Structure 1
Amino acid sequence: MTNRNDALSNFSVNMQFEDLHQDVVERAKLIIIDCVGAILGGVAEKDAIALINLRSQKIPGADYVKIIGTEQWAEKSQAALLYGTAGTVLEMDEGHQFAKGHPGIHVLPAILSMVQSNWLGRKVSGQEFLTAFIVGYDIAARIGAGSKLKHSMHPHGTWGVIGASVAIGKLLGLNITQTKELLNISSSLTTATSRKTMLEGGTVRNIYAGLSNQMAFLAIDLISANFTGENDGIQSVFGSIISDELNDEVILDHLGQNFEVMRNYFKLHACCRFNHATLDALWTLMERHPELHDTDNIESIDVESYNLAAELNDPAPKNMLAAKFSIPFAVATTLINKTSKVESFSGTALSDSDVLKVAKKVHITENHLMTASLPDFRPAKVSITLKIGKVLSHEVATNKGDWRSPYSPDELKEKFFSLAVRSLDREQTVCLYNNLTYLEKYDDIKTIFDIKHN
């Protein structure tokens, strides 16, 4: 069998924009737009603002980056940390169900910070940027799909550092030998992430993706300083240390022919993806049955779903991060607020007595047949028993937003605008969206992100 690291290095170095099908380019642009929207929405959050203020300054310095949506400047690797964190806090960034994580927000912040700074010493075209992003995303997602992380691990902050490092290396023009060494070095810079953080509301979880982007710059510095990794860092780290197995056949399957950006999903519900099948089913019931508009009519709500979703069972989460990983809360806030967007997972929603009252009525159990359908499908069934004894039920096999049931371009555009206007005005948002839509036509991508603030 082809050596994995040789194949990945060859793929990264030799891939050119001209080799990419138009549908791959268009999908990658949608993902980039989605991640930028998530970042712009996130930089308006209290925790993100506090971290940005601690890790940035009001005046630029060498290799400094103007943090989009703010008036702050940060050194490029710090900017990558801040972008990755901001893009995570709202739980609205895209993801990849086979990688079991979020490749986009683990790759984009690094190369966005890189091109915004003057570190490279030259202009980066939109075509170069897209190619680097697609390559980094692909390698990150393939390692995620080919590994089986220990259940105690959170996927954020793990394989993402490899994708981010490769994407930077692609823009730097690293050769095959250097890229192979970069794979070995960056794999050792993964983080010991804990799954409990998301379930218990440990907001340190929100920096995991940012750390991967920041560590990618360290990996590049280590290459430049002639540091070396082990013979096969990917195998060691993702084959035994943080993962129970590593499947090279999955990692290399149709490498360079099928691109993982084509298997991503987008999110409109502002919470963990494991909630989404439940919320999709709930929305269908809400649209069909007007009696659900008054939650006093509800006696109980029973949810069946796969094992990962069944873990999200806390009816009284301690903070908003934990609430985003709670099916009882997600169901309740959606029923009460008639939306599952950001506003239902922010502000006073966590202390809303009506929401908490409904959350106590929600019970979730694992359906083993649904678990067996992973990762191809992520099903759920919602059954609502009314006080009059009537039972309303609906089941979905997959989540809206993936390639089987995609959101429309207008829905994704509306999502971008709803997030971006949290830190930009309407005119700035329109300009940025239009420019990102034609990303590949730019000779200097940095100009897209030179957003003038009023």
Structure 2
Amino acid sequence: MSIVTPGVVPASVLLSEPAPEWLGRWTQFAADLRFEDLPDEVIARAKLVLLDSIGVIAAGMQEPEMAALVVRLGARRAGKAAAIGAGQGLDARDAALVNGTAGTMLELDEGNQYARGHPAIHVVPALLALAAETDVSGPELIVALALGYEIGARIGIASRLKVTMHPHGTWGTVGAALGVAKLHGADAGEIGRAIGIASSLGLSTSRRTMLEGATVRNCYAGFSNQLGLTAWDLAQAGLMPERDGIGTVYGTVIADDFRPEVMVDELGSRWEIARNYFKRHAACRYTHGALDALMGIMEDAGGLNPDNIEHIIVDTYVWAAQLDHPAPQTMLAAKFSLPFALASAIVRGQADVEAFRDAARANAVTQALAARVEVREDPALTAKLPGLRPARVTVMLKGNRQWTAEVLTNRGDTEDPYTAAEVEEKFRELAGPVWPTSRLEAIAGAVAGLDKAPTLAPLLDLLA
């Protein structure tokens, strides 16, 4: 039996061949796109996504691990890019890393249900870090954000990540690289090289990190931002990508079933950033349907007394049903535990940031109640994915009484969105402990006026 494998066509030959049709269309589309081409809805949503990202980054930066990381990196090299909420200037790559990491610490960053991931937090930190070192206008930032978000989300839609992978740190690297290339004024060829290189730089992420509460998972998005910046430099230095690295990586390596036609379906008319979701519960989005149903029960019942609850049953879709461990050992693990999230929400009245901290996990009443929560998959509910994220919650009380509520969507989804005012209020709640009210309002105002801002300097100064 021969052990010789088929040869590979040399890169010098491949580079003389045209790129795949979908990739050629994408790079030309990205190079040609101007602010005036964006629909008003996309501009408005991009500004809201940016404000939301700034809030979750600033709040996450207050966690002790983030404070320690900023000190360590700042001691090695300072820079112009802000570690948002830390009062520290860092080198652009270090700022991209810490801001991307901080943005996932509290599990409150926005996402896209169709992409099955969180596109913005993989792009925003890289763009803000680059903007601190270059002259960038508000409209230019909006275009770069919309494009970076779009290509990352579409890769997530067009492929199916291996079930053992965590989506953070994967296709987000391509999104960051495209956003960075666009801010640099790249042409189609430069964009193709940057995103092609970035496709090979995704991390070998593990899904178990979130289930075990291993907080290395929070760094995945940070590295996507850092590597997005690096991909541009590698491309400009002359390093060459695989001819269709995106198709290979997301069709055969870390994902399967890459469908190139999805990458260009309604390109320029359907924008993924315009059908994103925002989060108010400080937990994994898979818990949100059950939490929304529970909040409805609590409102109808006038509150729930944990001592009167005999049992809680949650019927939901397959991915949410996996989050069934009732005794998490870390804050991150608690955010990925349906039993704990529901129990803590009942005890505290809401699933806010404090509902998952050490004090909440040590609460004996919450622990006992979480042990009385049963989580089950309902195949009929799984069949409603990805457009719907259903859950049915039944709270059985002593005396043979019970409350049941069912939801099909999460609050904040495109189908049941939060208003702009609600997202702005979330920003104020999260960033309020970080900055005085005057600065909060100045940041919100600067983001709201971004579409008319000739420079980002005022916003960057506020973030610094």
What's the TM-score, normalizing by structure 2? 0.94
**Counterpart selection for 1:164 from 176, 180, 203:** 176
Where do residues 224-239 of structure 1 align in structure 2 (5 Å cutoff)? 224-239=236-251
Please give the secondary structure, in 2, of the residue aligned with 1:80. Answer: helix
> Does 2:66 correspond to 1:48?
yes
Aligned residue for 1:219? Answer: 231
Aligned residue for 2:105? Answer: 89
Aligned residue for 2:188? Answer: 176
Structure 2 CA distance for aligned equivalents of residues 158 and 309 of structure 1: 21
Aligned residue for 1:349? Answer: 360
Unaligned runs of 5+ residues in structure 1 are none
Aligned residue for 2:431? Answer: 420
Q: How far is the alpha carbon of 1:247 from its aligned partner?
A: 1.3
Structure 1 CA distance for aligned equivalents of residues 119 and 56 of structure 2: 13
Which shifted more, 69-78 or 270-279? 69-78
Structure 2 CA distance for aligned equivalents of residues 312 and 452 of structure 1: 36
Where do residues 50-449 of structure 1 align in structure 2 (5 Å cutoff)? 50-57=68-75, 60-61=78-79, 64-116=80-132, 118=133, 120=134, 123-290=135-302, 292-449=303-460
C-alpha contact 1:158 1:190 (8 A) present in aligned 2: yes
Amino acid at match of 1:315: P
Q: 1:452 to 1:341 in 2, by over 3 A?
A: closer
CA deviations on 1:293-316 (whole Å, 9 max, x unpaired) are 311110000000000000001100
Q: Kindly report the root-mean-square deviation, in angstroms, between the aligned alpha carbons of the 2 structures.
A: 1.5
Q: How far is the alpha carbon of 1:215 from its aligned partner?
A: 0.5
C-alpha contact 2:151 2:175 (8 A) present in aligned 1: yes
Which stretches of structure 1, 4 residues or more, deviate above 6 A after TM superposition?
none
Q: How far is the alpha carbon of 1:452 from its aligned partner?
A: 7.8
> Does 2:450 correspond to 1:450?
no
Aligned residue for 2:10? Answer: none
> Does 2:53 correspond to 1:35?
yes
Unaligned runs of 5+ residues in structure 2 are 1-18
C-alpha contact 2:247 2:260 (8 A) present in aligned 1: no
Structure 2 CA distance for aligned equivalents of residues 427 and 187 of structure 1: 42
Structure 2 CA distance for aligned equivalents of residues 158 and 423 of structure 1: 30
C-alpha contact 1:43 1:423 (8 A) present in aligned 2: no
CA deviations on 1:109-162 (whole Å, 9 max, x unpaired) are 00011112x2x3xx2110011001001100110011111000000000000000
User: Percent identity, aligned pairs only?
Assistant: 42
C-alpha contact 1:57 1:74 (8 A) present in aligned 2: no
Structure 1 CA distance for aligned equivalents of residues 73 and 365 of structure 2: 39
Q: How far is the alpha carbon of 1:68 from its aligned partner?
A: 2.4
C-alpha contact 2:81 2:128 (8 A) present in aligned 1: no
C-alpha contact 2:20 2:244 (8 A) present in aligned 1: no
Which shifted more, 51-60 or 83-92? 51-60
Q: 1:215 to 1:59 in 2, by over 3 A?
A: closer
Amino acid at match of 2:148: G
Q: 1:2 to 1:240 in 2, by over 3 A?
A: closer
Structure 1 CA distance for aligned equivalents of residues 38 and 81 of structure 2: 29
Structure 2 CA distance for aligned equivalents of residues 156 and 126 of structure 1: 27
Amino acid at match of 2:155: I
C-alpha contact 2:316 2:382 (8 A) present in aligned 1: yes
CA deviations on 1:376-413 (whole Å, 9 max, x unpaired) are 10000000111111121010011110111111222211
Q: How far is the alpha carbon of 1:59 from its aligned partner?
A: 8.1
Structure 2 CA distance for aligned equivalents of residues 334 and 56 of structure 1: 38
Structure 1 CA distance for aligned equivalents of residues 24 and 406 of structure 2: 45
Structure 1 CA distance for aligned equivalents of residues 28 and 362 of structure 2: 53
Amino acid at match of 1:113: A
Aligned residue for 2:16? Answer: none
Q: How far is the alpha carbon of 1:446 from its aligned partner?
A: 2.5
**Counterpart selection for 1:25 from 25, 31, 43:** 43
Aligned residue for 1:12? Answer: 30
Aligned residue for 2:11? Answer: none
Please give the secondary structure, in 1, of the residue aligned with 2:374. Answer: strand
